[in-house]
Amino acid sequence: MSEPYANAGTVSPWPHRWAWVLCCATYPLIWIGGLITTTDAGMAVPDWPGTYGYNLWLYPWSTWFFGPWDLFVEHGHRLFASGVGLLTIGLVVVVFRCDRRAWLRWLALAALALVIWQGVLGGLRVVLNERLLGFAHGSTGPLFFALTAVIVALTARNDEPRPSGSDQAAPLWPWLLAGLIYLQIIAGAALRHVPEASSFNTFALHVQAHLWGALLVTLSVVAAAIVAWRWPVGRSPRVLASLMAAVLAVQVSLGVATWVAKYRLPAFAQTGVAADAWDAIAGAGTMAPSTAGGWTETYVVTGHSATGSLLLALAAAHAVVARRRTSTASNTELSSHRDEPSAASAGPA
C-alpha cells in the first residue's frame, strides 16, 4: 500500500516546486482571460491555432505590441496559455522522474488533460464563434487553477504535528465548501455570458442566482474561519481559512463595486450627498447598464471574476490540508514501520 500523502524527507521537493510555479503562472492567465471577456475581445483573432495565418509564436511582435488593444490582449492570452501548457507538461515530466506515487502521477496527467481541454474549448469558441463555448471555457479555467493549488498542497511537506483532540474522520465540509464556490463561479460565468438577445427575465434570473450563491458562499466561508479559530484544526488549515476570509472580503467589495460600475447607484441612493459624490466620479446614472466602460470599470469587473477563482483555489487547498491532517499520524506510523529492519534481514546483535 502506498502512502496517500507525502511525508517529509521521503520524496523529492521538485514536484512541489514545479507545482508552485505552475500555480503562480496560472493566476495571471485567469486575469487575462477575464479581461478578454470584460472587453469583449475574444474574437479579435478569427483563426486558431494560429494568429492571422502565422504560427502562434512567430506572429510579428511589432504588430502585436502596437496593434489594436483587442488583438494585443487576445494574442497575449494565447501566448500565455501556451506557456502554462508547457509548464503543465513539465510538471508531468518532473513528477514521473522524481516521484513514484501513482496517485500523484495520475493527478499530473489529469492536469495535463484539463489544460489541453481548456485550450481546445478556447479554440473552438473562436472557430465556431459560440458564446456557450465561451461559458465552458470560462468555467474550466478556475477548475484548472484549483487543481494546481491542490497539487501544491498535496506535494508539500506534511511534518506538522497533528493537533490533539481533533477528529479521526476526514472532514467532508471543506470539499462541500469548495464545490459551492465552484458552483458560484459557474453562476457568475453564466451571468457574464448571457446572450444580448435574452429577455430581461432571463437576465434577472441569472442575477438572482448569483446573488443567492454569493450569500451562501459568504456564510460558509465565515463559518469555516470560525471553525478554524475555535477548534484545534492545526496551523495550516487555520492560515488557509483566514486567507479565505480575507479574500472573501475583497471579493464582496469588488462585487458591490462591479454592480455600481455596471448599473450605477440604485434609485434610493441617488439623492443627497451620495448622489453628489457619485456624480463627481461617474456622472448621474440610472439602473440601466453602463455601456461607456473605462479602465476602472474594466479592472473592477475583471478583478471580481479573478478573485472568485483565487477563493476557489484556496478552498481546494484548504480541503486537501484538512484531509492531510487526519492522515499525518497514520503516515508517520507507516513510515516508521518501513524504516525498521525486517526479521529476515536483521543481523545478529
DSSP SS3 for 11: coil
Percentage of the chain lying above the pLDDT 90 cut:
53
For cell 484544526, what's the residue? 233
Give per-residue pLDDT as tens, 321-340. 988 766 544 444 334 433 44
DSSP percent split of the chain into helix, strand, coil, nearest 5: 75, 0, 25
- Residue pair 303/28 in contact (Cβ under 8 Å)? The answer is no
Q: Measure the CA–CA gap between 19 and 153, rounded to whole angstroms.
A: 9
Number of C-beta neighbours around residue 271 at 10 A:
10
- Residue pair 222/244 in contact (Cβ under 8 Å)? The answer is no
Q: Measure the CA–CA gap between 14 and 279, rounded to whole angstroms.
A: 54
For residue 198, name the pLDDT band (cuts at 50, 70, 90): confident
DSSP 347: -
* The pLDDT value given to residue 348: 40
Closest CA to 227 of 219, 217, 238, 216: 238
Give the least confident one: 17-21, 47-51, 270-274, 343-347. Answer: 343-347
Here the cell at position 214 is 454569493
Number of C-beta neighbours around residue 270 at 10 A:
17
Does pLDDT of 274 surpass 60?
Answer: no
Give per-residue pLDDT as tens, 155-196. 987 655 555 544 455 678 899 999 999 999 999 998 888 877
Q: Measure the CA–CA gap between 2 and 22, rounded to whole angstroms.
A: 26
Give whole-number Cα distances, 82 to 26, 50, 122, 348, in Å.
Answer: 11, 12, 12, 60
For cell 508547457, what's the residue? 86
Give whole-number Cα distances, 54 to 59, 119, 126, 141, in Å.
Answer: 5, 18, 16, 26
For cell 500500500, what's the residue? 1
DSSP string, 135-161: HHHHHHHHHHHHHHHHHHHHTS---SP
DSSP string, 223-261: HHHHHHHHS---HHHHHHHHHHHHHHHHHHHHHHHHHHH
- Residue pair 169/326 in contact (Cβ under 8 Å)? The answer is yes
User: How would you label 156-190 residue by residue, b for 16+ Cβ within 10 Å and e otherwise?
Assistant: bebebebeeebeeeebeebbebbebbbebbbbbbb
The top-scoring range by mean pLDDT among 46-60, 291-305, 327-341 is: 46-60
* The pLDDT value given to residue 314: 97
Here the cell at position 151 is 497539487
Here the cell at position 304 is 471580481
Q: Measure the CA–CA gap between 46 and 127, rounded to whole angstroms.
A: 7
